[in-house]
Copies of this chain bind each other. A is one copy, B any other.
Amino acid sequence: MILGDMGAEIIKVEKVGDGDDQRKLGPFINGESCPFMMINRNKKSLTLNLKTTEGMQLFLDIARNVDVVIENFRPGTVHSLGIDYDAVKQINPGVIYCSISGYGQTGPDSRKGGFDIMAQAATGMMDLNSHPGERPSKTPLSFHDATAGLVALYAILGAYIQRLKSGDGQFIDVSLVESGLALATQEVSAYFGSHRVPKVMGTRNHMSAPYQAYRCKGGFIVVGAGNQRLWERFCNDVIEKPAFLTDPRFATMADRVAHMDDLEVALEEVFAAEERGFWVEKMDKAGVPGGPINSLDQALEDPQILARDMVCEIEHPIAGKIKTLGIPAKLSGTPSSLRMPAPILGEHTAAVLLETLNLSDEQIAALKMAGAI
C-alpha cells in the first residue's frame, strides 16, 4: 500500500476465482470489503492460477520487467511453484525479491505458518500485555503484521538505492517474529542488562514516571512528564505542588520509578478535584505533554487529525465514495497520493497482459479458457 501511495505501479497477483482472502473480511459496502478497499488502494489486480504451466509462465514473463517482487507464501511454496528468487533472477538479474513469512526462510520453525497473533505470542508481546492468570491479551492492532510490512518496505527501498548505484538486485528475507521483536529495543536491552523479565505494566512505563494514565474527576488523562525539566514544570505549573520536587520519593526519575505506586496515589489525590478538560488545558499551557484518552471515533474526528488530512475520501466504482486513511509520511517534494481505489478482482488482468506482454484478445481469451487467468 505504501509503495503504491509513494507512486509505484503495483500489480497485485490474486487467485483465480475468489482472489485475496481479505476480500471476504467484513464489514462490506455494496458487497465490497472495507479492510480490503483500504489496504489495496493504488494497486492493479491481475488474476493468475500459478498452479497451471501457463499461469506460472505468465508470472515469469511479467516478472522479467519489474523492479520488485514481494511474496508472502509459506517458505518453500514459491520454489515448488517455480517462481522463487532463483527462477526470477535468471530472467531478471536486477530484480529485488522480497519474501515475508511468519518465522523467516531459515531455521527450525521456517516451515511453520505464522500470522500476527503467533508472532505476538512468540516474541513476548502477548505476555507483556496480559495479567497473570487471565486469558492472555494481544495488543489491539496487528502490530507484527504491520511492522513486518514496514521492515520489508525499508529493506526494499534500501535495495533499490543499491540497485540505482550498482545495477545489482538481491533477495530480502523478512519475518513477522523478528520485525516485532526488533521494536522491543527498550524492553530487550533492559532484560539483557538486568536479567529481570519485564512484567505487565498496564498503563505504566518501565523506566519513566509520571508517564501513564491517571484517574481524574469523571475520567482519565495521560501525563508524560518524561524528563526532569518537564517534571519541574508539571509540579510548579500544573498541579502547583512544588513540595513534590524535594520529596525524596519523587526527586529524580529513578526515585519516581522506584515509588510509582506512591506517585500514583499522590497525583490522583490532586487530579480528583477537577475534570479532564481542566487538566489537559493546564498541561497544554505549561508545555507538559498530556492529553485525553480518545476512542477510535473520537480520534478520527480530532481537529488535529483532520487538519493534517489523515481522513480522506476516494471514489470506488461499486462502494461509491468511501473514507480512507491519509498519508503519515508528508514529503514536500514528492508527496504520496491516493490515485486509484482498490481494484475489482481481475480488473486489470487484460490491461496488464496487453501492456506488459502485448497479448492479443484471442490469446487472453484462450488463457481464460485454460483457467490460467
Contacts and interface: CB of A to CB of B under 8 A. Distances in A.
Interface of A: 1-2, 6, 21, 24-29, 34-35, 37-39, 74, 102-104, 106-110, 112-118, 120-130, 135-143, 146-147, 150-155, 157-162, 164-165, 168-175, 177-179, 181-194, 197-198, 200-203, 205, 207-208, 211-213, 215, 220, 222, 224, 226-227, 230, 253-254, 257, 284, 287-300, 302-305, 307-308, 310, 322-334
Contacts of A226: 21, 115
B182 A292 contact: no
Contact of A151 (B143, B203, B328): B328
21 contacts: A25-B207, A26-B257, A27-B194, A38-B185, A104-B308, A107-B308, A114-B291, A118-B289, A124-B297, A130-B293, A143-B183, A146-B147, A147-B147, A150-B151, A158-B329, A162-B334, A164-B164, A168-B333, A170-B331, A178-B326, A193-B322
Contacts of A28: 193
B153 A39 contact: no
Contact of A325 (B185, B222, B290, B307): B185
B150 A296 contact: no
Nearest to A298: B124
A107 B92 CA distance: 46
Given A21-B227, A118-B224, A155-B331, A112 B38 contact: no
B161 A154 contact: no
A26 B254 contact: yes
Contact of A197 (B155, B157, B295): B295
A263 to B, nearest CB: 14
Contacts of A124: 294-300
Contact of A289 (B27, B113, B152, B191): B113
Contacts of A39: 185-186, 189
Contacts of A158: 6, 157, 329, 331, 334
Nearest to A230: B113
A309 B358 CA distance: 45
Contacts of A304: 103-104, 107-110, 122, 177
Main secondary structure on A side of the interface with B? mixed
Contacts of A161: 157, 160-161, 164
Contact of A137 (B202, B208, B333): B202
A138 B39 CA distance: 25
A147 to B, nearest CB: 7
B292 A121 contact: yes
Given A157-B154, A168-B333, A296-B198, A189 B117 contact: no
The 10 closest A-B pairs by CB, nearest first: A170-B333, A34-B193, A124-B296, A107-B307, A128-B140, A38-B189, A157-B157, A155-B329, A178-B328, A109-B304
Contacts of A136: 203, 213, 220, 222, 293
Interface centre among A124, A202, A227 (most CB of B within 10 A): A124
A28 to B, nearest CB: 7
A108 B303 contact: yes
Contact of A27 (B190, B222, B296, B334): B190
